[in-house]
Amino acid sequence: MAKHPISDAAATFGERVRARRNELGKSQEGLASESGVHWTFLGQVERGQRNLSLHNILRIAEVLGVDPADLVRGLKAPSEG
């Protein structure tokens, strides 16, 4: 059974990461290795199933060659309950 994204924000963030990774022609494994995260973690990020720390956002953005703000711009925190 497929897991669903933890929030709309996480799903959108993951879509942005995947789109930029694909633009660069990088594999998940390559981006993960360069970012210092495990490839399964990165897959969960791209599917919106992980809540990243600031440090991981910064690492991934650096390897993608984007301002971290571009990955989070316009995202809203999920509402409680």
Domains located in the chain, CATH noted:
10-72 (1.10.260.40)
13-49 exposure pattern, b = at least 16 Cβ within 10 A, e = fewer = bbebbbebbeeeebebeebbeebebeeebbbbbbbbb
Enter the pTM of the model: 0.92
pLDDT band at 78, cuts 50/70/90? confident
Residues 6+ apart with CB under 8 A from 21: 28, 31, 46, 64
pLDDT tens for 48-71 read 999 999 999 999 999 999 999 999
pLDDT tens for 12-40 read 999 999 999 999 999 999 999 999 999 99
69: number of Cβ within 10 Å: 9
Residue 72 has pLDDT above 80, yes or no: yes
